[in-house]
Amino acid sequence: MTFPGDDNDILLTQRYLATFICQFDLYFYPFDVQVCSLDLRLPRNYERSVVFSEVDRKVKYVGQEDLPLFSVRNVKFGPKSGKNFLSLQFELHRRPGVILLSTFVPSAMLLVVSWATLFVKLEDMNVRCIMSLTTLLVLFTLFVNLSHSVPNTAAIKMIDVWFFFIIAILFINIMVHIFIDLAVNKAKKMMKVTTLKVQPVSLAQQAARPSEPRPLYILSVYKLFILPTACVIFNIGFWFLISSS
């Protein structure tokens, strides 16, 4: 009995187990989306007799979509797929929930604590210094522990930018405490050695006098305007880049 090939289709099903490598771009870590591809190319001696069908071509992911660290999304054939080449693409969306709770929230709280030290009385220099140094050390420890859990790469990541900014702010706060304390002590010494002179002063001259010493005025401007403005501008730019990725 003869079966003509034009009227009868032969269906061959095979299963393959393969290992492939996906190059990760960790610039937007931990909000990164990795695009991976599985490429299949026919051997040259098969190109004349075997081709990949372009009509009934379909792909189906049967595994679990929500993995421990990633979520599998957008499984499809790539635009380079043809008769002799198939490119299966899929996206790995990182799940940043745990990272947000373990890094961003604690670091933001430490920044608030460091900012609160600027409102402590100037007489309590020990309290201000101890709190500022403690927040900086805790933040640096948090950053080091996070660096050990992230894949080694020489490229700068967005989470590095976040920590570098907060570390810089905490360092500046410590410097502000030191220089303001030195300026206040210097002003007190100058007041002690200055000869007291009594002379009539008009009401206009009294109104023109500053209500507080210059170091205290600089501290007030820094803690009420400069520091909050810098944090707001940084967060707007940081989260805008994250959302646009």
* Residue burial 141-162, b: 16+ Cβ < 10 Å; e: rest: ebbeebeeeeeeeeeebbbbeb
For 51, residues 6+ apart whose C-beta sits below 8 A from its C-beta are 42, 83, 84
Q: What tokens does 174 get? A: 């410590």
CB 136 within 8 A of CB 167: yes
pTM over 0.75: yes
**Which ranges in 54-196 belong to alpha helices (H)?**
97-99, 105-116, 125-149, 158-193
* pLDDT score for 14: 82
Query: pLDDT tens digits, residue range 36-75?
Result: 998 888 888 877 778 887 777 888 888 899 988 899 999 9
Query: pLDDT tens digits, residue range 1-21?
Result: 666 667 777 777 888 888 888
* pLDDT score for 146: 85
Q: Which residue in this structure is represented by tokens 């803690």?
A: 223
Q: What does R_g of the chain's alpha carbons equal in angstroms?
A: 32
How many other C-beta atoms lie within 10 A of the C-beta of residue 178? 14
* pLDDT score for 1: 63
Query: pLDDT tens digits, residue range 133-166?
Result: 999 999 999 998 888 887 777 788 999 999 999 9
- Pairwise pLDDT comparison (237 vs 126), residue with the higher score: 237
- In 3D space, the residue among 95, 132, 94, 97 whose CA is nearest the CA of residue 113 turns out to be 132
For 100, residues 6+ apart whose C-beta sits below 8 A from its C-beta are 30
Structural domains of the chain ordered from first start:
33-95 (no CATH), 98-192+214-244 (1.20.58.390)
DSSP 3-state of 191: helix
* pLDDT score for 222: 93
Query: pLDDT tens digits, residue range 168-196?
Result: 999 999 999 999 888 888 877 777 665 54
Q: Which residue in this structure is represented by tokens 């693409």?
A: 89
* pLDDT score for 11: 78
* pLDDT score for 212: 57
CB 129 within 8 A of CB 177: yes
